[in-house]
């Protein structure tokens, strides 16, 4: 029990550190859990602690969220932004429900796939970061609805662990004309309904198999994810505005390569 508690805390820290940077938080948590011998009923832990990271966004952006919601009745820009986030969220609802069991029982159980996706995603992110196209959008509120729905479909690629939800949405936004800061910011806002929906559906699917120990681990992971994610959210936008995403691309490639070597060595 003590071992699981410590591991749950470490995995919560890892989730908070990686949820909003394009390196795949789920992939990192699954791989770390694999090597640390952590078992989660129905892999509920890995999904449900993401709500802690979402709490960080709600806290950091509370005043802005409130402003958008309260001005929406009279502000067409606020209304369009809310509609854009809802449209971008919609594809994940449909595909997530239809593919839930396959994702959990097959994709989550394949460490080699996660490692390969980390490497491939890193190469794609590196390419997208080095593109020299002139951005058409500098604020997340400027994204047209057609662009938002495209980002929503691209986000669904992240149902493959190792792809990265933030990575997919950021790369999608960059390719569709966003600058680096607004791409990350739209990813933050889209994370809120997406992760809340994933939490609620996973709770519905796994409520019968979660005992007191499983819930204890989830609470611990949630708390540590919340604390560390606050730090990352406050830091990330300033960093990517100045330095881009190359650091995260190389991190993905390095981690994925080391995991592949480890899996082959201990096969």
DSSP secondary structure of 171-227: HHHHHTTB-HHHHHHHHHHHHHHHHHHHHHHHHHHHTTT--HHHHHHHHHHHHHHHH
Q: Provide the whole-model pTM.
A: 0.86
Q: Domains of the chain: which residue ranges?
A: 2-265
Those residues of the chain that have pLDDT short of 70 are 1, 3, 267
pLDDT at 233: 87
Judge whether 179 and 137 are in contact, CB under 8 Å: yes
CA angle 255, 260, 261 (to 5 degrees): 100
Considering only the C-alpha atoms of the chain, give the largest distance between any 2 of them, rounded to a whole number of Å: 61
pLDDT at 193: 93
- For residues 169 and 172, what is the distance between their CA atoms, to the nearest angstrom? 5
Residue 25: DSSP 8-state: H
- For residues 18 and 165, what is the distance between their CA atoms, to the nearest angstrom? 11
Which two tokens mark 238? Answer: 């300033």
pLDDT at 267: 65
Q: Identify the residue whose tokens are 């003590």.
A: 2
């Amino acid at each position: 029990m003590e071992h699981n508690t410590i591991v749950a805390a470490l995995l919560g820290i890892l989730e908070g550190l990686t949820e909003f940077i394009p390196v795949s938080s789920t992939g990192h948590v699954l791989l770390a859990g694999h090597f640390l011998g952590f078992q989660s009923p129905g892999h509920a832990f890995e999904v449900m602690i993401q709500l802690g990271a979402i709490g960080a966004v709600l806290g950091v952006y509370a005043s802005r969220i409130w402003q958008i919601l309260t001005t929406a009745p009279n502000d067409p820009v606020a209304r369009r932004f809310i509609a854009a986030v809802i449209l971008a969220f919609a594809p994940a609802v449909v595909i997530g429900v239809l593919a839930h069991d396959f994702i959990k029982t097959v994709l989550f159980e394949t460490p080699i796939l996660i490692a390969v996706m980390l490497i491939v995603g890193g190469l794609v992110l590196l390419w997208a970061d080095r593109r020299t196209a002139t951005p058409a959008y500098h604020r997340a509120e400027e994204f047209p609805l057609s662009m938002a729905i495209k980002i929503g479909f691209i986000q669904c690629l992240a149902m493959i662990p190792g792809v990265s939800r933030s990575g997919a949405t950021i790369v999608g936004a960059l390719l569709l004309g966003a600058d680096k800061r607004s791409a990350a910011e739209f990813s933050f806002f889209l994370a809120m309904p997406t992760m809340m929906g994933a939490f609620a559906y996973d709770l519905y699917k796994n409520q019968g198999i979660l005992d007191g120990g499983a819930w204890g681990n989830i609470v611990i992971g949630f708390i540590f994810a919340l604390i560390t994610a606050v730090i990352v959210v406050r830091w990330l936008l300033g960093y990517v505005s100045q330095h881009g995403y190359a650091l995260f691309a190389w991190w993905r490639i390095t981690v994925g390569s080391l995991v592949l070597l480890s899996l082959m060595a201990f096969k």
